Amino acid sequence: MPPERAFLTADVAALAVRDGVTHVLVIRRRWAPSEGQWALPGGHVDPGETVAAAAVRELSEETGLTVPVISLTPVGAYSAPGRDPRGRYVTVAFLLWLPDTIGPAAADDATDARWIPVHTATGLAFDHDRILTDALNSADVHIR
């Protein structure tokens, strides 16, 4: 049996409060797997890049939002076998608080990007529901 090969990715749970309701920034995936499904912004870590730098780059590429690396708070690493149908993918997830629901512009791997109330953010691609829940718990956000 050949050795298992793992791939490293970074994801961002970007949150903001609008009209007293916590919102999360999601993108609609352009490509398989999970083409057309909503997901957190994120993607592969490039050679020579830190996971935090990859998270910032992917957020910018997929939504047009640019933030400094220092604004990210680590949520956790997700490595469960089968979390991605393409093979063994390990992601490091980050929490990002923004002062407002700044208008995103979908690009790159996203066909759409928008802010949605966190209580409606279910059925996200991969294990992004769990990542979002963990991010909300780490931020002590009470969903309403």
Q: Is the dihedral of CA 132, 133, 134, 135 positive or negative?
A: positive
**100 to 10, 31, 104: CA distances (angstroms):** 23, 29, 11
pLDDT of residue 144: 53
pLDDT confidence band for 82 (50 / 70 / 90): very high
Look at residue 108 and tell me whether its pLDDT is greater than 60.
Answer: yes
Q: How far apart are CA 92 and CA 108, in angstroms?
A: 20
Asked whether the predicted pLDDT for residue 11 surpasses 80, the reply is yes
Question: What confidence tier does 1 reach under pLDDT thresholds 50, 70, 90?
Answer: confident
Answer whether residue 142 shows pLDDT above 80. no
pLDDT in tens, 36-62: 899 999 999 999 999 999 999 999 999
For residues 62-87, average pLDDT? 96
Distance CA 110, CA 123 (A): 17
CA distance 131 to 109: 20
118 closest CA partner among 103, 139, 133, 98: 133
- Does the predicted model carry a pTM greater than 0.75? yes
